[in-house]
A and B are shown apart, each in its own frame.
Chain A
């Protein structure tokens, strides 16, 4: 096993639901031992991509493989080695979490080894109450335990922290970090940018069913515009800054001017320091900022 080995590969993977688009021509590769994020707004095609990889739906075109196995033809062999948390999932409400986990453990032919209790303790999940008495967050914890309990080499988690409180989100991120340290691969889709920024090594951005970018989080952040705020000793003028290349969304308020600067920041700095600068703040872009900008650029046909 080496770090560059692909655990997930897709080539031109597409899925159409009649006249409706699911995903279109998605080609990507997820390497062993990395945490890979799928980002995109609702309806972008994240869940469709995961369902294709799990063999729940059949590709309309292209191909996909998971752990070297064809995701449609060899789906059962894939399921033996993968832990899955679907985005929408349900169990029998009258069962307790322990009964649900025991049922899935028996289907996998595994003995009870205390791993479920260990995970339940970490996620503060109550395994002994019927599911119908659990909140959405606690229900989600049962789903996470069920996905993790057999110690899979690959995890596919669709919106894993939905409904979890911030403390449990933090605990979940620690579990993901431990899995990565242990050489396991995690594919997760999320709306939570802070979570993706912290957990993921690389991200794929999906927009209207197509792949917009596949990059490391660091590279994405370095390409994203920085937010610059300069305060002068007198009234600020937005116009000279707005004329600079790579500068946009310039706004002057009183003695301050704010702007987003993509690429080289020197032009804006030189222009600012030509006057007496009282204060200067340059904010590191968040993944959310990068995400929104990338989508806006795509929609307007521009470039980052």
Chain B
């Protein structure tokens, strides 16, 4: 049942998935295309002039990272712009399947079939995670192809690591949307809460770089781990823990969704 619901959702969101894939791929391809000219700039010398805390705040531990294509793309796109943007893809899928569907009375129809409410929520979560994986794969494939054509040595595994790192992060943010959908109707509320959590989590490591009293608190942020995965490779135990937290929030959302009234 969950697979049927997820498949139908993905079919309905095909155009959106395509647009996300094209937009993000265009962005990464642009970065690959301009790297040969950017790479000539001595960023290492330039960045050494900045305060250490400021560099840490922007996830720049190693000033030589701008000298490699993957380091440049990670710093320019994967450290902030792409994670903040792509988290809204699975979140949007969940939002469309639950609060938005509730507002336009599609849920009334769907929940009058022998489908459990938790299955509707799980189907939305699976569809969101699959859409995310599809877009990340497209970005990876298109960027690699462009790098090959432009003769830029990007590194298949390095780019894969950056793309795969986004999956737990965005899944976690989407799970906040699933939790909010369990609480009650209102797509603005789910989007607002999940967006707020996303920004807060992004800001925690940034604040911790300036104020060390936040050193422990930043560990509550998925970005703390994500930033580390970008630099040092994915720590799979951490990734599993983030995904487990996302699953737990989704499960709580499902329990709440089973118990609440469907808005008329």
Contacts and interface: CB of A to CB of B under 8 A. Distances in A.
Contacts of A54: 112
B105 interface: yes
Main secondary structure of the interface of B (DSSP, over half): loop
A79 B12 contact: no
Contacts of B109: 84, 86, 89-91, 104, 143, 146
B106 interface: yes
B4 A107 contact: yes
Q: Could you say which of B1, B108, B110 has the most chain A C-beta atoms within 10 Å of its C-beta?
A: B108
Contacts of B111: 56, 79
Given A79-B114, A106-B4, A107-B115, A91 B106 contact: yes
Interface of A: 47-48, 51, 54, 56-58, 76-77, 79-80, 82, 84, 86, 88-92, 94-95, 103-104, 106-108, 143, 146
Most buried by A among B5, B109, B116, B261: B109
A108 B113 CA distance: 7
16 contacts: A51-B108, A56-B108, A56-B262, A57-B261, A58-B259, A58-B260, A76-B116, A79-B111, A79-B113, A80-B114, A86-B109, A86-B112, A89-B108, A95-B12, A107-B1, A108-B114
B262 A90 contact: no
A84 B116 CA distance: 16
Contacts of B114: 76-77, 79-80, 107-108
Nearest to A94: B12
Nearest to B101: A90
A106 B115 CA distance: 11
A260 B260 CA distance: 49
Contacts of B232: none
Give the size category of B's interface with A: 20 to 34
A77 B8 CA distance: 23
B106 A90 contact: yes
A86 B12 CA distance: 22
A165 to B, nearest CB: 23
Interface string B4-25: 1100100010000000000000
A156 B56 CA distance: 62
A89 B106 contact: yes
B108 A86 contact: yes
B112 A88 contact: no
Contacts of B260: 58
User: Which 5 A-B pairs have CB atoms at the shortest separation, nearest pair first?
Assistant: A84-B112, A57-B261, A86-B108, A88-B105, A80-B114
